[in-house]
Amino acid sequence: MRTAGRLARPVLLGGVVAVVLAVVAALGALLAGPALATVVGPFVAAAVAVPAARAARPWADRVAGRLGRRPAPTPYTVLADTAARVREGSLTDALPGLARVLGEGTGAERAVVWLVVGDVLVAEAAFPPDQETGERVASLGALLARPGVDHAVPVLDGERLRAVLTIGKAGRPVTAGDRRLVRDVAGGAHLVLQGVARGAELAARVRRVDELAAETAASRRRLEVAREVERRRLVTELQGATADRLAAFRQSITDAAEALEDAEDEDGPEMARHHVGEARERLTELIDRFRVIARGVHPAVLREQGPRSALEEVIADLPRPVHLSGRPAERLPWEIESGLYYAAASAISLLAARGGRPPLEVHLDRHGDVVEVRVTDDDPDDAEELREALADDVDRLAALGGALDLVDHGGRLELRAWLPDRLRPVVLDTGERRRGAEPDRGGGVA
């Protein structure tokens, strides 16, 4: 159509000039005779043709403009253009065309093309173009209840919702023609919208796979940290259990041997028996200590009965009284129970290492998706030393997605160790809500 418009103007003007020349030649031959018309006629014709062409120019421009004008878009021409753009991979330019047809065809204040991505409806294109996109609605019912949505037509793929076309007319009625236009656009764009929605859903799944891969790698790193923390704790326990006790045991055996070797000392056998008795006591103490370490490494009671029973076993050997209350309503995964138990056992053992003080209050509880242990000490030691002593437990809890809070309320110490009730990936955003991410619960050592 544009080519026809460009060619029409010179053709029309050329036709006007040809007609003028023919008329002047015929009149000259009739009035002046053929001989004179042949000589004078061309000059007269040229003199008349120039003003005639100038006068005809506006008319030629109007005709050429009508021939070159692009026809008004219809739903069908826009659908054809949209399908072509989708085949070319130009999704960004395809859907706005549908929104424009809906808006201009119905005179709507706002027209939106919504696509189903995952479990939500996302506004992918809107008219007028300055309208915001990217809005998210949880369901079709929620979309229909939104202000500014006066009419909506869903696009289904079998029984599955793939897209929704909506218009809003700001208080003006939605006419039968408006409904017919929206229905025709939805029907004509049915396959296009299905394909676009499937592509968007696939892209979201690909992003989610990438996120899960990153989350898995992060989880592995956190578990490696937890293993390293546990290894350091075990090495420290073994060094504390063996260094002094083994040295004392060795010294008692050496003293006993020296007493027996001194034949001139009449009290030698008696001294030897004394040193052997010391060695027996120190060996018994060393074995008991190894049993405590073994119980801490693999507490059988924790496996069988849960963290409360395991903590009761720890409390039974402490010189300071401890009041233990509460318990989780149900058993939790081993990683969660053991992580909470080790942190609580370490804190209780440190705070109740000396007797002659008021009871230590310990409470186990679960709030929503968080399980925690609270320890309250009304006669605390230095809080800074306690923070340093619990550094490994802080690292372990952090590796499992929790934290340890330690607050000194001016003579009253409160410790709170918490973990989520299941191991969740710490997460990343897809443009959707960060599902699986833990809410901020003030983690860290205060």
**What's the rounded Cα separation, in Å, for the pair 147 and 400?**
44
Q: What is the mean pLDDT of residues 202-210?
A: 79
What integer best gives the mean pLDDT of the chain?
A: 76
User: Do residues 49 and 132 both lie within one domain?
Assistant: no
11-44: per-residue pLDDT in tens? 676 777 677 667 766 776 666 666 665 656 666 6
104-131: per-residue pLDDT in tens? 888 888 999 888 877 788 888 888 887 7
Q: What is the mean pLDDT of residues 73-77?
A: 56
3-state secondary structure labels for all residues of 253-280: HHHHHHHHHCCCCCCHHHHHHHHHHHHH
User: Do residues 401 and 432 both lie within one domain?
Assistant: yes
pLDDT band at 76 (very low <50, low <70, confident <90, very high): low
pLDDT of residue 147: 86
Q: Name the 3-class secondary structure at 352.
A: coil
pLDDT of residue 431: 39
User: Do residues 6 and 105 both lie within one domain?
Assistant: no
232-281: per-residue pLDDT in tens? 767 776 776 667 777 888 888 888 888 777 756 677 788 888 888 888 88
pLDDT at 363 over 90: yes
User: Do residues 44 and 140 both lie within one domain?
Assistant: no
- Does 88 map to a domain? yes
pLDDT band at 192 (very low <50, low <70, confident <90, very high): low
Helix 75-87 and helix 176-188, axial crossing angle in degrees, nearest 10: 30
* Beta strand extents in 94-185 (DSSP E only): 110-117, 120-127, 136-137, 151-157, 160-168
User: Do residues 53 and 82 both lie within one domain?
Assistant: no
User: Do residues 176 and 136 both lie within one domain?
Assistant: yes
Spatial contact of 112 and 152, defined as CB atoms under 8 Å apart = no
Domain CATH number, residue 389:
3.30.565.10
User: CA angle, 182 as apex, 181 and 187 as ends, to 5°?
Assistant: 95
- Please list the residues that pair with 365 across neighbouring strands: 372
Nearest to 392 by CA among 334, 350, 329, 435: 350
pLDDT of residue 78: 55
**What's the rounded Cα separation, in Å, for the pair 133 and 123?**
5
**What's the rounded Cα separation, in Å, for the pair 121 and 149?**
14
- Does 183 map to a domain? yes
Residues 6+ apart with CB under 8 A from 17: 49, 52, 53
User: Do residues 308 and 423 both lie within one domain?
Assistant: yes
User: Do residues 90 and 40 both lie within one domain?
Assistant: no
**What's the rounded Cα separation, in Å, for the pair 93 and 315?**
70
pLDDT at 74 over 60: no
User: Do residues 41 and 83 both lie within one domain?
Assistant: no
Regarding beta strands 322-325 and 360-367, do their DSSP bridges make them parallel or antiparallel, or are they unpaired? parallel
- Does 282 map to a domain? no
Q: What is the mean pLDDT of residues 285-305?
A: 72
- Does 255 map to a domain? no
Among residues 68, 91, 111, which one ends one of the domains?
Answer: 68
pLDDT of residue 290: 72
Among residues 154, 188, 222, which one ends one of the domains?
Answer: 188
User: Do residues 164 and 48 both lie within one domain?
Assistant: no
381-436: per-residue pLDDT in tens? 777 888 888 887 887 788 788 899 988 887 789 999 999 988 754 443 433 333 33
pLDDT band at 283 (very low <50, low <70, confident <90, very high): confident
Spatial contact of 258 and 267, defined as CB atoms under 8 Å apart = no
For residue 425, give both structure tokens: 């990936």
- Does 144 map to a domain? yes
- Count CA within 13 A, CB hemisphere, residue 69: 9
- Percent of the residues in the chain that have a pLDDT greater than 90, as a whole number: 8
**What's the rounded Cα separation, in Å, for the pair 228 and 223?**
9
Number of independent structural domains in the chain = 3
Give the highest mean pLDDT range of 18-27, 67-76, 202-211, 334-343.
334-343
User: Do residues 138 and 9 both lie within one domain?
Assistant: no
pLDDT at 361 over 90: yes
pLDDT of residue 36: 60
**What's the rounded Cα separation, in Å, for the pair 328 and 317?**
23
pLDDT of residue 75: 54
pLDDT-wise least confident of 61-70, 83-92, 107-116, 255-264: 83-92
Phi and psi at residue 112, to the nearest 5°: -135, 140
pLDDT at 341 over 60: yes
Among residues 188, 218, 250, which one ends one of the domains?
Answer: 188
- Does 266 map to a domain? no
The conformation of residue 118, written as its DSSP 8-state character, comes to T
**What's the rounded Cα separation, in Å, for the pair 5 and 84?**
26
112 lies in which domain range? 75-188
- Does 280 map to a domain? no
pLDDT of residue 444: 35
- Does 198 map to a domain? no
Domain CATH number, residue 91:
3.30.450.40
pLDDT-wise least confident of 82-86, 116-120, 354-358, 411-415: 82-86
User: Do residues 375 and 412 both lie within one domain?
Assistant: yes
